[in-house]
Structure 1
């Protein structure tokens, strides 16, 4: 028995004065009306209606049940209607978790445009490189980048791809020479992003074959922006997202190496708990992310 349907059927039978009228109101057959009433009475182990071929009346139990039930269904209808503004207009607070460097380089400068489009919406953007528990911590959505997305009950929407590049300052290459094959990196000071899944081994591809090289150096750090500062200072070379150093490469502040080898590609996704009945504010933010994170991804300088 679908109890909610049975309750609504019972209410309409009472208010419409009979099975046939209730059937017309609800768009059900008289047989379906009768079946729902019978199942409800069986569930309650109580007769709610006295009925003959010519008339119908409430029992004492039916009258008491109807009075309480009508209030409950009215409250339920009010609760359903109260969600209308949330469904139809972007309002309330959208809570988003996003990685620090990616957001500062590629996202936060665009946020004013999003908020101007939706003046009734508040955004709580938490910048944190840790992997938050979206459901437990009450986030509507999380942005994550990974070269291998972990299995999850979360829905993942692909946003963009972060290509990587080997680079260093011209001064560093003048002192230490440029690597010509991946194995040469073992002779260099490799600046490592400690939160990466490939911090200590870098993989390259060419002609259908992969080469994985262990790397080491005096400096590892949990921020790609700190890696970029060290690259500019000539401290070593690194494998970094191209979007973070594109302007430095164009201006000659940094130079790339091993350009004829493929490198890691980080897939950036929007993760959220369910695709069913997706909240409009979440959908709007995902659409906005797809709008600003084009392929290939180009990000502005952090300044």
Structure 2
């Protein structure tokens, strides 16, 4: 028998009383008085008082200091309140999630996504979503710029990065792939083929401006030692599609995630450099404001994303 289940079966167990009075207690603290708590919950003052007394008796500690005009938390009461408050919020969130799951997605869903990722992976997902949820209107902002999810009014942002910045926003990884350093055959024939990352300083490089340090390219050798190369940005831009176009036009060397150049690699139009160095991993995330009260339109889109992304991400070799 499960140990946790056995706690509920003993005749002398207090497990069945575990949450008795918790909601009333948190309401009293948040309301600031027994009278206000009674009004908020629809109970009498005497009922509120009796519930708090029973809770304190069961716990064996005093939770509240009472005077004729005010109440205040004891040190033990403050610790208990912080834990109980989170329990109540979690329970409310679970109820909201259950209720929302019964709702049909509707309204307008505003999404930001990198152009190259949308071209490779989003077409079928958007088509399926429109078919499954006809009451939702979609607004797609397809570009590589960094957007402010809250300030710009997005419901969901899809972003690719090797390291996600610290944020209060919620993120869920939906895809992963390798990133490669590439050039065209014609460029390499003219400028020479670098065999070590340090030799990139002798070449024209095409850099992605949305990175914190676009011209500082990071590599690791087989031993895991870090290598940083400050390259010359012959072209600095914020579009992976433009970067790829310039590489194919023989204008320099670039680093791109696999999804941004999948077709060009299939067509054998690119040469991958430094294949004896570990390829960095790029993660793609769905980012949204909060898990709490997540709307059905957003939840259903995230579920569809996760369902349709390649399992485990693409980590195939370049060749």
Common fold by TM > 0.5? yes
Q: CA deviation at 1:176?
A: 2.3
Q: Tell me the equivalent position of 1:9.
A: 42
Q: Tell me the equivalent position of 1:256.
A: 272
Q: CA deviation at 1:145?
A: 2.3
Between the aligned partners of 1:92 and 1:200, the Cα distance in structure 2 is 42
Q: Does 1:205 align with 2:216?
A: no
Output the aligned Cα RMSD. Answer: 3.1
Among 245, 250, 258, which residue is 2:261 paired with?
245
Contact 1:94–1:122 at 8 Å: present in 2 too? Answer: yes
Q: Tell me the equivalent position of 1:214.
A: 230
Q: CA deviation at 1:215?
A: 0.8
Q: CA deviation at 1:239?
A: 1.0
Among 157, 161, 168, which residue is 1:146 paired with?
161
Distance 1:292 1:178, change over 3 A: farther
Q: Does 1:90 align with 2:105?
A: yes
Q: How many residues end up aligned between the 2 structures?
A: 238
TM-score, scaled relative to structure 1: 0.68
Q: Secondary structure at the match of 2:302?
A: helix
Among 204, 207, 210, which residue is 1:192 paired with?
207
1:56-93, Cα deviation, whole Å (9 max, x unpaired):
xxxxxxxxxxxxxxxxxxxxxxxxxxxx7885211112
Q: CA deviation at 1:118?
A: 1.2
Q: Secondary structure at the match of 1:185?
A: helix
Q: Tell me the equivalent position of 1:296.
A: 313
Detail structure 1 runs of 4+ shifted over 6 Å in the superposition: 33-36
Between the aligned partners of 2:153 and 2:303, the Cα distance in structure 1 is 21
Q: CA deviation at 1:34?
A: 8.4
Segment drifting more, 125-134 vs 200-209: 125-134
Q: Secondary structure at the match of 1:284?
A: helix
Structure 1 unmatched ranges of 5 or more: 14-29, 37-41, 44-83, 299-303
Distance 1:133 1:190, change over 3 A: closer
Q: CA deviation at 1:130?
A: 3.2
Q: Secondary structure at the match of 2:234?
A: coil
Q: CA deviation at 1:212?
A: 0.9
Between the aligned partners of 1:199 and 1:185, the Cα distance in structure 2 is 14
1:217-268, Cα deviation, whole Å (9 max, x unpaired):
4222221111111111111121111222232223221111111112433322
Between the aligned partners of 2:114 and 2:217, the Cα distance in structure 1 is 22
Q: Tell me the equivalent position of 1:105.
A: 120
TM-score, scaled relative to structure 2: 0.65
